[in-house]
C-alpha cells in the first residue's frame, strides 16, 4: 500500500519536514540562547545571516504542511475503493487505529503551521528581527508535533492491509452509534443550525470588526475556532443530510466524493483557510505593541481578519446553497 | 553620519586561504563632506567601501547610518537603503552593454515605480548636466572612457542619493578627465551630498575638493 503516489508524497512531505526542522533545531537553540542584536560580534552576524536560510526553510516546510492536509483527505477518500466495507474516507481511516489520529494530528499541524507562518511573515517585515527568538522557540515546539504527525502517518500507511474488512461511515456517524461523532450527528437540526449560523455570524462579525478597527483580535481568533467546531457540528448534524437528501446519512467525508460533485471541498477549503486566518489574528496580537511591529502587526492582522471574514461568509453561503437546492425537508 | 565600529571582514573564512581584508576599523565619516580612502592595493579600501555602501556585510562589527544600524538589516531593507541612500560609481563603470546611455541611467530607478515619463526627463536632465545630452541614445560601448564615467555618475545620481560612493574613479582616466571628474564631485558635494572615494591617485588625494583623507594599510587605518 505504501507505493501509492499520494502516500509517497505525504510521507515524503512529512518526513522531510521532520528532517528539516530537526536539522534546524541546533540553530534554533543557538538563536534562543545567543541572539543579541546589540552585538556586532562575528557570532551574532553569522546568526543574522543564517536566519534567512533557516526561516525560508521553515516557511517552506510549513507551507507544504498546509497542502499536505488537503492531500491526506483526498487520498483517504480516493483509496476507499481498495478496502472491503469502505464507502468513503471514513472506511479508509478506520482500516487501522492510526487513521483518525493521523488526520487529527495533520489538522493540528495545519493550524500550528498557519500561525507560525503569520508570525514569520510579520517578523520579516521589521528591520530588527523582533520575533526571532519566539519564532525559533515555536519551531522547537512544532518539531514534536510534526514528529508525532509523521509517526502516526507512517504507522497508519504501513498498517493499511487490503484484506481488512473496515466499517463504513454509516456505523460511525449514525444516530444509533456510540462516541462523540455519533452524539454530534444525533443533534437535532434546528439547534445545530442556530449554533452554526450563530457561530459564523459572530466570527464573521468579529473578524470584520477587527479588520475595520484593529480591536477584538483575541475574540476574533476565539470566535474563529468556535466557528470551525460549529461548522463541523453543522456538517455532521444537518448540512450533510441536506446534501445527501437522506435523513440518516451524516458522513462528513462522503461530501468529498465525485457522486456529490466534490462539494465538500467547496465547504472545507474556505472553512480551514478562514479558521487558520482567524487563528493567525490571535497569534499576532501579543506582538502588536512591539515597537518595530506597531505598524506591521495591525496591517497584517487586518488582512488576515478580512480573509477570515470572507472565508466564513463563503462557508455560510455554500452551506445555505446546499440546503436551498436540496429536496430534503428536515424542519417543517 | 556614518559610523563604523570594530569592522572586520574575512574572505574564505575557515579555509586554508582565509584572508582578513579588514581588521578592526573604527571610523566616523562626516556627512556632506568628501572623504577619500587612500592606500595601496590590498589595503582593504574597496572592501571597506562595499561595507559602507551595504554591498557586503562585515564578518563582525557594526555600521551605523544616521544612528540606524544598517549592517544587521535583513536583505529586503538593505535593498531599499542601497537604492535610495547610496549611489555607486564603480571602477570599471559596470554599464550594461547593448543599452543606450539614457537606458543605463534610468535602469536603477525602474524598481522604484517612478512614472516613466518623469524618470526619462530626470535622466535626460542628469545627462544634460554632465554634458552628455548629445550622446544619450548612443550605446555605452560606443562611448569614450570619460563619457562612460559620466554616464556612470548620472546613473549613480538617478535615485537622488544622499551619499555617492566611487571606487578608484580616476583609475582609467587621463589627467584632464580626472580633473573634470573632481570638478563634478565638487559640485555634487556643494549640493549637500556626502562623497566617499577610494583612490591612490595624488590628483584626487591632493584635490581641494577633498575634505578628509583616511589612509589604510593591511586592513587597518594608518592615520585618521
The dihedral through the CA atoms of B191, B39, B52, B94 has a sign that is positive
The model's pLDDT over A197-242, given as tens digits with 9 standing for 90+, comes to: 999 999 999 999 999 999 999 999 999 999 999 999 999 889 988 9
Q: What is the mean pLDDT of residues B189-207?
A: 92
- Mean of all residue pLDDT scores within chain A: 90
Name the grid cell of A322: 446546499
Nearest-CB residue to B5 (from A37, A40, A124): A40
The C-alpha atoms of residue B113 and residue A75 are separated, in whole angstroms, by: 45
Counting beta carbons within 10 angstroms of the beta carbon of residue B146, is it exposed (0 to 12), middle (13 to 18) or buried (19 or more)? middle
CATH architecture of the region B2-223: 3-Layer(aba) Sandwich (3.40)
pLDDT of residue A77: 85
Q: B74 vs A42: CB contact, 8 Å cut-off?
A: no
Nearest-CB residue to B59 (from A42, A52, A128): A42
Residue A269's contacts (CB-CB under 8 Å, 6 or more residues apart) are: A70
Which pTM value belongs to this model? 0.82
Least confident of A29-33, A55-59, A246-250, B93-97: A246-250
Name the grid cell of A281: 489574528
- Residues of chain A found within 8 Å of residue B75, distances taken between Cβ atoms: 52
The C-alpha atoms of residue B89 and residue B107 are separated, in whole angstroms, by: 14
The model's pLDDT over B71-104, given as tens digits with 9 standing for 90+, comes to: 888 888 888 899 999 999 998 899 999 999 999 9
Specify whether the CB–CB gap between A220 and A207 falls below 8 A.
yes
Residues facing residue A165 across a β-bridge: A84
| Domains of chain A, residue spans | 1-167, 169-332
Q: What is the mean pLDDT of residues A182-204?
A: 88
- Residue among B88, B87, B84, B116 nearest B102 (CA): B116
Residues of chain A in Cβ contact (below 8 Å) with chain B: 37, 40-42, 44-45, 48-49, 52, 124, 127-129
Asked whether the ipTM of the predicted complex exceeds the cut of 0.85, the reply is: no
The model's pLDDT over B2-46, given as tens digits with 9 standing for 90+, comes to: 999 999 999 998 899 999 999 999 999 999 999 999 999 889 999
What is the DSSP secondary structure assignment for residue B160, as one 8-state letter?
Answer: -
The C-alpha atoms of residue A260 and residue A243 are separated, in whole angstroms, by: 8
Name the grid cell of A4: 501509492
The model's pLDDT over A96-113, given as tens digits with 9 standing for 90+, comes to: 889 999 999 999 999 999
Residues of chain B in Cβ contact (below 8 Å) with chain A: 5-6, 8, 57-62, 71-77
Residue A176 has pLDDT above 70, yes or no: no
The C-alpha atoms of residue B146 and residue B93 are separated, in whole angstroms, by: 10
Name the grid cell of A21: 526542522
| Domains of chain B, residue spans | 2-223
Nearest chain B residue to A124 by CA distance is B74
Amino acid at each position: 500500500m505504501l507505493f501509492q503516489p499520494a502516500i509517497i508524497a505525504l510521507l515524503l512531505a512529512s518526513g522531510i519536514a521532520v528532517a528539516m526542522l530537526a536539522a534546524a533545531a541546533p540553530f534554533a537553540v543557538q538563536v534562543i540562547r545567543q541572539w543579541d542584536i546589540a552585538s556586532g560580534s562575528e557570532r551574532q552576524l553569522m546568526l543574522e545571516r543564517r536566519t534567512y536560510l533557516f526561516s525560508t526553510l521553515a516557511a517552506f516546510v510549513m507551507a507544504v504542511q498546509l497542502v499536505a492536509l488537503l492531500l491526506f483527505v483526498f487520498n483517504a477518500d480516493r483509496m476507499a475503493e481498495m478496502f472491503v466495507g469502505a464507502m468513503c474516507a471514513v472506511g479508509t481511516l478506520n482500516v487501522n487505529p492510526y487513521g483518525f489520529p493521523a488526520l487529527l494530528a495533520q489538522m493540528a499541524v495545519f493550524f500550528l503551521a498557519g500561525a507560525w507562518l503569520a508570525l514569520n511573515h510579520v517578523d520579516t517585515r521589521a528591520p530588527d528581527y523582533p520575533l526571532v527568538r519566539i519564532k525559533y522557540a515555536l519551531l522547537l515546539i512544532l518539531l514534536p508535533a510534526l514528529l508525532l504527525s509523521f509517526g502516526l502517518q507512517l504507522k497508519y500507511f504501513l498498517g493499511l492491509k487490503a484484506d481488512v474488512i473496515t466499517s463504513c461511515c454509516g456505523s460511525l456517524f449514525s444516530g444509533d452509534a456510540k462516541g462523540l461523532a455519533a452524539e454530534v450527528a444525533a443533534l437535532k437540526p434546528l439547534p445545530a443550525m442556530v449554533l452554526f449560523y450563530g457561530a459564523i455570524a459572530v466570527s464573521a462579525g468579529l473578524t470584520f470588526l477587527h479588520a475595520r478597527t484593529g480591536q477584538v483580535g483575541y475574540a476574533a481568533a476565539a470566535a474563529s475556532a468556535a466557528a470551525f467546531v460549529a461548522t463541523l457540528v453543522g456538517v455532521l448534524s444537518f448540512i450533510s443530510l441536506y446534501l445527501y437528501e437522506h435523513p440518516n446519512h451524516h458522513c462528513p467525508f462522503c461530501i468529498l466524493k465525485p457522486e456529490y460533485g466534490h462539494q465538500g471541498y467547496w465547504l472545507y477549503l474556505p472553512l480551514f483557510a478562514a479558521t487558520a486566518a482567524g487563528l493567525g489574528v490571535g497569534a499576532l496580537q501579543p506582538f502588536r505593541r512591539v515597537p518595530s511591529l506597531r505598524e506591521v502587526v495591525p496591517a497584517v492582522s487586518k488582512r488576515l481578519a478580512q480573509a477570515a471574514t470572507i472565508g466564513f461568509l463563503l462557508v455560510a453561503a455554500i452551506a445555505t446553497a446546499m440546503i436551498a437546492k436540496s429536496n430534503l425537508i428536515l424542519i417543517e | 553620519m556614518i559610523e563604523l565600529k570594530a569592522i572586520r571582514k574575512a574572505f574564505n573564512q575557515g579555509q586554508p586561504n582565509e584572508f582578513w581584508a579588514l581588521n578592526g576599523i573604527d571610523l566616523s565619516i562626516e556627512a556632506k563632506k568628501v572623504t577619500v580612502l587612500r592606500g595601496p592595493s590590498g589595503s582593504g579600501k574597496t572592501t571597506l567601501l562595499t561595507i559602507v555602501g551595504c554591498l557586503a556585510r562585515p564578518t563582525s562589527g557594526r555600521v551605523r547610518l544616521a544612528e540606524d544600524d544598517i549592517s544587521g538589516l535583513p536583505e529586503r531593507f538593505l535593498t531599499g537603503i542601497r537604492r535610495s541612500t547610496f549611489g555607486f560609481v564603480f571602477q570599471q563603470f559596470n554599464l550594461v552593454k547593448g543599452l543606450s546611455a539614457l537606458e543605463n541611467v534610468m535602469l536603477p530607478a525602474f524598481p522604484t515605480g517612478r512614472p516613466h515619463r518623469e524618470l526619462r526627463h530626470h535622466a535626460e536632465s542628469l545627462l544634460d548636466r554632465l554634458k552628455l545630452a548629445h550622446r544619450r541614445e548612443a550605446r555605452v560601448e560606443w562611448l569614450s572612457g570619460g563619457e562612460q564615467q559620466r554616464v556612470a555618475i548620472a546613473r549613480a545620481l538617478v535615485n537622488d542619493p544622499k551619499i555617492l560612493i566611487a571606487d578608484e574613479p580616476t583609475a582609467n582616466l587621463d589627467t584632464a578627465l580626472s580633473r573634470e571628474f573632481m570638478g563634478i564631485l565638487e559640485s555634487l558635494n556643494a549640493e549637500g551630498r556626502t562623497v566617499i572615494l577610494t583612490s591612490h591617485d595624488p590628483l584626487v588625494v591632493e584635490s581641494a575638493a577633498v575634505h578628509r583623507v583616511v589612509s589604510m594599510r593591511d586592513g587597518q587605518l594608518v592615520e585618521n
